[in-house]
């Protein structure tokens, strides 16, 4: 357990969360949005392989751009919302842009 869990102010916040916020969320699950992000690289090369013990694994790699594509979306109880793909790794600036331009308009 994290050391801050033993602090009195954290325990009080946890108690308020459990007694006030969670019951409201259970009454309105359609308002919950869980954000998930995944990424792929454009290398298209497997990082591992198998070969007989003591022998080198012969393999070749196609030329790639060695870039990353990130996919983010919100998951609601009725389906996927605000899907978004960017041609780089997700960072704070990209996440803020996703929330402002893609996710927020769906939260009406």
Question: What percentage of the chain's residues is helix, strand, coil (to nearest 5)?
Answer: 40, 25, 40
Query: Domain coordinates of the chain in residue numbers?
Result: 29-46+62-108
pLDDT for 40 equals 86
- pLDDT, one tens digit per residue, over 53-79 is 999 988 777 666 678 899 999 999 999
Nearest to 106 by CA among 76, 61, 67: 76
* Stronger pLDDT, 76 or 42, i.e. the higher one: 76
Q: What is the pTM of this model?
A: 0.66
pLDDT bucket at 49, cuts 50 / 70 / 90: confident
Q: How far are the Cα atoms of 28, 32, 104 from residue 77, in angstroms, in the given order?
A: 10, 8, 17
Q: What is the pLDDT of residue 60?
A: 76
Output the average pLDDT for the chain.
89
């Amino acid at each position: 357990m994290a050391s801050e869990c033993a602090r009195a102010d954290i325990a009080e916040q946890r108690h308020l969360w459990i007694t006030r916020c969670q019951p409201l969320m259970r009454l309105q699950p359609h308002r919950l949005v869980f954000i998930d992000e995944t990424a792929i690289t454009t290398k298209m090369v497997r990082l591992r392989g198998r070969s007989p013990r003591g022998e080198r694994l012969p393999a070749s790699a196609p030329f790639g751009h060695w870039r990353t594509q990130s996919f983010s979306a919100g998951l609601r109880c009725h389906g996927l919302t605000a899907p978004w793909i960017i041609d780089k790794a997700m960072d704070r600036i990209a996440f803020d842009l996703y929330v402002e331009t893609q996710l927020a308009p769906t939260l009406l």
